[in-house]
Amino acid sequence: MYRPNFLIIMVDQLNGTLFPDGPAKWLHAPHMKALAARSARFANNYTSSPLCAPARASFMAGQLPSRTQVYDNAAEYVSSIPTYAHHLRRAGYYTALSGKMHFVGPDQLHGFEERLTTDIYPADFGWTPDYRKPGERIDWWYHNMGSVTGAGVAEISNQMEYDDEVAFLANQKLYHLARENDDADRRPWALTVSFTHPHDPYVARKKFWDLYNDCEYLMPDVGMLESQDPHSQRILKSCDYASFDITEDNVRRSRQAYFANISYIDEKVGELIDTLTRTRMLDNTFILFCSDHGDMLGERGLWFKMNFFEGSARVPLMVAGPGIAPALHKAPVSNLDVTPTLCDLAGISISEIAPWTDGESLKPVIDGGERTSSVLMEYAAEASYAPLVGIREGKWKYIHCELDPEQLFDLEADPKELTNLAGDPAHAKVLEGFRSKRDAKWDMAGFDAAVRESQARRWVVYEALRNGAYYPWDHQPLQKASERYMRNHMNLDNLEESKRYPRGE
């Protein structure tokens, strides 16, 4: 039986508008461009929720946040939800994670047999928003505009230290897997490598920063709008925008650092693919490249994510590997489709849980078919006072929150989403169609009640567990030192031969 391997490369907060067909021509990203040249590329791929933890939980399960109940960056991901790691492991795969996945709760594996690093973010309930206190800023963890005013060059940072380790341990694991490559009974593998860049803070190493000294894209196309929609106003308040004087230089430096960190990530991607190539595993490995959500990068005056506008919600997706025809696919798709796609490529049926899965396999699209289903999005985290939902279908995007006027955009005619057509009588029929789809999919009052219950319960638990002895849930990677390198219970000749790849002549 044919058993391909899988390398899933996930990055954090990478704006999909910069990937119209692989990386934009002006980006210094040779390794990602080479990957794009042999990939199925999805130009209109969307996150399920524009925030780290809910986006990643949905990505791994193919379920919307309203199903996973991972509404925000401090909501527990329960162990009973099957992820692609579970599906692959059940089918005999070795599954491992190097890097970030922002699992909240005591289960820090969710189907991965091994985690090579700890997570960069906390695993407890401390980052729980509170709908009972609309507008409250929790200063010690909410985003603020200091990431923008502090943009610049650094040779090491908290995030660089993390991603350097993620890449090193991932490459080390690939070498280990290669040494088992000649074993007829070896298990196929699925390695997920998840970086935290180009997520803010906007700080980059000089060698990458200098690549963009003469970049012509250091200012957004659309600056601060005179009139913002209500949710954008809430985002600006949650980011404490009024307390900062954001200059044009701040904006340019932030975007330069962000682009530089795309090149930083590109170098890591190149290292992984180079290791695959030199260990003779590339031809039998599917590579999936994606991001959890995007970054507004100053467009409309907004930064970071937390909304359904293109910079925040649209994300890259590329799939390369055996039998994948390189092509650009423009139909809207979703990160919710990743788990069904991975399983389909591995020949694994997920029919048992299909009724509770919101994504669908993209293999038929890769093979030349069409995807016509609506793309669904949800958001119920910081800067929201009630859940938001979005639908992307054809050229249209529809956004709804019970607190706000509806939004309807024609992305073909208005790619910058500057003209809300929801109040235009000429589009009343289109709007009514989206309202019907919304009502068929969501009970907005029930969604709101579930989020409020979850938040209230977690605040009680978090405050209780911070009193007295504290037992953290954060993952602690363990290595068996007695089984590494050279020890006296090992035969030296056998050891050296087994650790060499390719084997000696």
Residues contacting 17, CB < 8 A, separation 6+: 294, 310, 311, 314
> What amino acid occupies position 234?
R
Average pLDDT over residues 329-336: 97
Where residue 204 sits, what CATH number does that domain have? 3.40.720.10
Specify if 483 maps to a domain.
Answer: no
CA 241, chain centre distance (Å): 25
Average pLDDT for 334-343: 98
Residue 413 forms part of a structural domain = no
In-domain check, residue 435: no
- Core vs surface per residue 461-491: b (16+ CB within 10 A) or e: eeeebeeeeeeebebeeeeeeeeeeeeeeee
DSSP label of 22: B
pTM of the model: 0.96
Lowest mean pLDDT among 139-153, 194-208, 222-236, 479-493: 479-493
- pLDDT(146) > 90: yes
Least confident of 176-190, 288-302, 413-427: 176-190
Residue 230 within any structural domain of the chain: yes
Q: What is the DSSP letter of 212?
A: G
Structural element, H or E, at residue 170: helix 158-178
Distance CA 138, CA 127 (A): 9
What are the catalytic residues?
A: 52, 102
Determine the structural domain holding residue 279 and report its residue range: 5-127+141-369
Is the residue at 447 inside a domain? no
- Two structure tokens written together for 355: 């009724």
What are residue 11's DSSP bridge partners?
291
> Is residue 387, in this structure, part of any structural domain at all?
no
In a domain, 168, yes or no: yes
What are the tens digits of pLDDT across the range 77-120?
Answer: 999 999 999 999 999 999 999 999 999 999 999 999 999 999 99
Q: Using a pLDDT cut of 70, give the percent of the chain over it.
A: 99
Count of domains forming the chain: 1
Q: Tell me if 145 sits within 8 A of 244, measured CB to CB.
A: yes
Phi, psi of 289 (to 5 degrees): -115, 130
pLDDT tier, 504 (very low <50, low <70, confident <90, very high otherwise): low
First to last CA, the chain: 28
DSSP assignment string, 97-124:
EEE-----SS---TT-SEESS--SS--S
Pairing between β-strand 333-334 and β-strand 317-320 as defined by DSSP bridges: unpaired
**CA 14/CA 100 separation, integer angstroms:** 15
3-state SS assignment for residue 60: helix
Lowest mean pLDDT among 118-122, 181-185, 402-406, 463-467: 181-185
Cis previous bond, 50, omega within 30: no
Helices (H), 288-427: 310-313, 338-345, 363-366
Q: Is residue 476 part of a domain?
A: no
For the chain, the average pLDDT equals 95
